[in-house]
Structure 1
Amino acid sequence: MYTFLRKMQTNVRIMRISAPGAARAGHSHVRLSHLLDLPLSGVLTGEGKKAAVGTRTGSLYLWPTEGGNPLRVEAHSAPIIQVVLSPDQTRLVCLSEDGAASVWDWEGHALGRLKGHTGALKAAAFSPDGQRIVTAASDSTLRVWEASTGQLLHTLTGHKGVPYAVQWSPTGLHILSIGTDQKALLWSGRTFLRLTEYSFPLHISFRPAFHPAGTHLAVPGPRGSVLLYPLLPDEQALIDLAYEKRLRELTPAELRRFFLEDPRLEKELPKGRKLPRARIHTVQPGETILSIAQHYGVSLDQLRKLNRLTSDDIRAGDSLIITYIEEE
């Protein structure tokens, strides 16, 4: 196993790591020299036979780690901030501050250029089958590309800050992006619709962490905790899960709470001056969570908890459950 050890001016060192329990003599270093500029990012193939380094001037250097001179490619006109390796380790994606990404093979052949972002590239990831690439940039968007042609397939919007990390799940069914808005957004890897969002504490940055089987997702929680969320493979799995739940008849109080009209209410529900009612409110243009709460006379905290809101960002067309007190 190989890993980058450190960067020293215009040299890069690679450390060979032996298996656990092996003698220290099995550790060795390889120095990759002949760099003409400051290295910013690099990758290694799994067997440690090849290395790629992106530099401040936008050059891409390709080495055989056994030694020899590198192949230098003028990939970008601005710094290459990240180099990403494809799952089959045959292709490289360079992310640049010039707002574009480029795809290369180990022979230095340009395989495509991904242009469309209006800000510096921050992160990228290949789908597990290597057929698609998702990129994140300072323009607050994610973009999904056909890896073989460089064709733009989808533009994903939802972050209010800059998405600085993105990853496909091992199954390819989900994409997770993490932004400076303290939101981790989960997207469908098939339809590319936003599925849900996870908030995490301030002053924390992290990388996507999926279970190897793609069944769970880990997100930082409060006070140093880690929250694990299950991931369902598709919409049908959610329907099947609902059918598996044991059904029971709602009580009159529950019928009243969950806005179902039933003649039993007049007989069985205790009479009182104030009874809880509920309804679905469709958010109208210009409405905010505060204005809706004031309209129904409920607290913001109650509205957030009932709808499991992780933020006060709502959009026209969203549906909110409202419980309120009705005078009789």
Structure 2
Amino acid sequence: MMINRNRPDLWKTDVARSVDFYNEWFMRFAPVSFRETRVETTKQVEEALRWTANLTDIRPETLKAYPSVLPILRMSTCPPIARDRLIGLAGVDKNLVENMEGKNRIPPKMNQLHVREQLEKIGEIIEKMADPDIFVWKERGDIGSQEEVHRASIVVADRLCGSIANPIIRNAQEKRQLAAIKDWLIERGYRELKVGEAKDWLSMPDGTFCFRFNVPIFMSTGKKVNIPVDAVIQRKDSSQYEFPVLLEAKSAGDFTNPNKRRKEETAKAQQLKSTYGDKITFDLFLCGYFDSGYLGYGAAEGIDWIWEHRIDDLKFLGL
């Protein structure tokens, strides 16, 4: 049964309502999520400053012991240094910096003498470019007062949070969307799947649901891989259906990003159909800025969707 993809006469109205729904949530809850992250990030910055004698002694041993400190140090300079810019300025290996920031490690096969030389270069650049308006003690030649260090940590934390604001908001929105689905299901007698209760997504008991469940698919090469699905729901009368409901929670704070990423949902839907046949469905749970271009693209590929502002449409999935 088609829900919204065959009703283009409603798309414009639904888009407007979805934008309003998202904006209302953003104004009420997004600042809270951002503040909470900033508080935690400030603690991380204070810890990083402690490891580096408040940015007066950035030793290779410190960077080697705490590789993940590097993004904090990059935001401590004037101006803040992008990752690739640091690589160029310090003349260090891209692989080293990417491992430190992405994997919280030093590349295990890299020569240790070379590592030390590279880390020394990074430390020298950071110390030389440390923002004097933030780390006011640098010019005095001391390590700063507790109040000065805390104030500097807040500034750097703001820079860090500003650079990752979108992921912070996106994660908070995803949690809220899944919580909305969970509440709706529980109110109708469903329960969350217990750990170890089902060996795979096809053996879930009737009336259960699970979040971020892996569903195996076969690639065109024949290789079997798992794709994560945000919500897998086994209907109460599963005998009438071949497959559980597969839902992907999607939110967007502007119209540009969804259209850039719309091929991702299409690829996932095609992989599922290629593996399990045309009777499997893959639906979206949308909130925010999804325009007619995005909706039309999905509809043409056989993807349907539920609007969060009209969450009761979940019942049309047989739930």
Instruction: Calculate the TM-score normalised by the size of structure 1.
Output: 0.22
Higher relative contact order (CA 8 A, sep 6+): 2
Please state which structure has a larger fraction of its residues in helix. 2
> Which has the higher Rg, Structure 1 or Structure 2?
1
Instruction: Calculate the TM-score normalised by the size of structure 2.
Output: 0.22
Please state which structure has a larger fraction of its residues in strand. 1
